[in-house]
Amino acid sequence: MSSSRRLLYAVAAPVIALVVTLAITSIVILISGANPLDAYRNMIEYSTRLRGVASIVNQAVPLFIAGVAVAIGFQMNLFNIGVEGQYRLAGLIAAWAGAQVAWPAVFHVTFIIAVAMIVGALWAGIAGVLKVTRNVNEVISTIMLNQIAFGVGLWLFNDYLKLEGGTNLAAQTEEIPSTGWMPSADWLFEIFGLDMPGGRSAIYGFLIVAIALGALYWVTLMRTRFGYDLRASGLNPNAALTSGVNPKRMVIVTMLLSGAVAGLIGLPSLMGNTHFYDEAFPAGLGFDGIAVALLGQYHPVGMAVGALLFGFLDYSSGGLQLAGIEPEVVAIMKGTIMLCAVIAYTVVRRLAAAAEVQEAARRLEHDRPGRPSRAAPAGAPA
């Protein structure tokens, strides 16, 4: 299949999903007695101010990381529903650990990241070990582990890790010294002559980490032996087994990796903004990450778009409120777009597969006898 064709198929599904979603939300907004065009205009105007853009990017960064964490598992049909628990536990412990030391910035930042990844990996690893040794379905175990993680986190926080006698009324961990902060990535936008708002709206430095992570994820998956084993396991576990992949080891390694990446989710805001853990630590990103991964079909670019879209929807609900429309419309949009995307992807994938078979046949007719052509680029499976 030609690369332009491939791109067309890749883009068709999300575009269809978006159009259908807009149609459905328009009906909902109409029913609620408002003008959908007004609503959309408000959402866009509200979000396209620089402050809005900064906020959307900052929301998208952890969502994207969550998407990658989920996607790693999905690549071999492991459903890590436990990203939520993994990152919240990892965030708490990393916040506390980061406040215990004051090393030079490079070491300090690395240390905090490492702690978060290790905690996330270990927590996810429990589900992996249970699956391999006791054949416990990872969906069930990770959901359970989420609940346990919330409980354990609360207990650790209240009994051990929160700051005693702090000045704030709200309980929090000790603030991480500034050597453990992540410098803002505003400069990335200022290159393009944008006058970033900075301060509390500064772009998280973790944006760079997220981009690197996306690249690393894709390169590992598509260009390394390990990635090949991982994809083979997901695409055809039987064939992977006979090709020499150890399925048990693969489950453990995948869960550890997925959990390690999940551990990063809470860090953009922790290291870029708050510098301590408190009860306002972001929640729900793990579940939204599942949606982002699905929406982006586990491809880094797709997931980046999905994360930005979700960030946009969240932020622009403020614009809806200004126009006197219920912000819950955004929740409806999120749900609808997920549903439409899943359906559209399935339909388009089938069409694309059929078209590929047809095209191979047609080219075979032309090319006979069997002259291999090199027109198409390396075939990355969808």
Partner 1 sequence: METHGAIASEPAEDARAGGPGAWDGEPDIAVRVRGVVKRFPGVVANDGIDLTVRARSIHAIVGENGAGKSTLMKILYGMQAPDEGTIEVRGRQVHFKSPRDAIDLGVGMVHQHFMLADNLTVLENVVLGSEPSTRGVIDFDRARGRINELSDLYGLDVDPDELVENLGVGQRQRVEILKVLYRGARILILDEPTAVLVPQEVDELFDSLRDLVSHRETVIFISHKLDEVLEVADAITVIRAGKTVAEVEDPSSVTARDLAEMMVGSELPTPETRESTVTDVVELDAEGLTIVEGGRRTLDDVSLRVRRGEIVGVAGVEGNGQSELLGALLGTIPLQAGRITLAGQDITRAPVRDRREAGVGFIPEDRHRDGLLLPVALWGNAMLGHQTRPPFVRGFWINRRGARGRTEQVVEEYDVRTPGIDVAARALSGGNQQKLIVGREILATPAFLIAAHPTRGIDVGAQARVWDDLREARKAGLATLLISADLDELIGLSDTLLVLYGGRLVAELDPATVTPAELGSYMTGAHAHEQAQPIESEASS
Binding site for partner 1 (CB under 8 A): 1, 222-229, 231-232, 235-236, 238-239, 241-246, 353, 356-365, 367, 369-370, 372-379, 381-382
Task: Name which of 158 and 224 has its Cβ closer to partner 1.
Answer: 224
Q: In whole angstroms, how close is the CB of 23 to partner 1 at the nearest point?
A: 31
Residue at 110: amino acid letter: T
| Alpha-carbon span 118 to 116, nearest angstrom | 6
Task: Name which of 51 and 231 has its Cβ closer to partner 1.
Answer: 231
Tell whether omega for the bond before 237 is within 30 degrees of 0, i.e. cis: no
Q: Is 172 helix (H, G, I), strand (E, B) or coil?
A: strand
Compute φ and ψ for 261, nearest 5 degrees: -65, -40
Q: In whole angstroms, how close is the CB of 81 to partner 1 at the nearest point?
A: 25
Task: Name which of 41 and 350 has its Cβ closer to partner 1.
Answer: 350
Q: In whole angstroms, how close is the CB of 219 to partner 1 at the nearest point?
A: 9
Task: Name which of 33 and 372 has its Cβ closer to partner 1.
Answer: 372
| Alpha-carbon span 246 to 240, nearest angstrom | 8
Structure tokens, 100: 């215990």
| Alpha-carbon span 204 to 185, nearest angstrom | 6
Per DSSP, the residues of 242-309 read HTT--HHHHHHHHHHHHHHHHTTTTHHHIIIII-S-BTTS--SHHHHHHHHHHHTTT-HHHHHHHHHH
Q: In whole angstroms, how close is the CB of 229 to partner 1 at the nearest point?
A: 7
Question: If phi over 0 gives left and psi between -120 and 50 gives alpha, with beta otherwise, what is residue 33?
Answer: left
Task: Name which of 219 and 283 has its Cβ closer to partner 1.
Answer: 219
Residue 230, burial from CB neighbour count under 10 angstroms (0-12, 13-18, 19+): buried
Q: In whole angstroms, how close is the CB of 67 to partner 1 at the nearest point?
A: 21
CB atoms closer than 10 angstroms to residue 17: 22
Q: In whole angstroms, how close is the CB of 228 to partner 1 at the nearest point?
A: 5
Task: Name which of 156 and 342 has its Cβ closer to partner 1.
Answer: 342
Task: Name which of 13 and 116 has its Cβ closer to partner 1.
Answer: 13
Q: In whole angstroms, how close is the CB of 75 to partner 1 at the nearest point?
A: 13
Please check whether residue 93 is in contact with residue 115, taking contact to mean a CB–CB distance below 8 angstroms: yes
Task: Name which of 52 and 234 has its Cβ closer to partner 1.
Answer: 234
CB atoms closer than 10 angstroms to residue 368: 8
Closest CA to 346 of 7, 55, 14, 5: 14
Q: In whole angstroms, how close is the CB of 234 to partner 1 at the nearest point?
A: 9
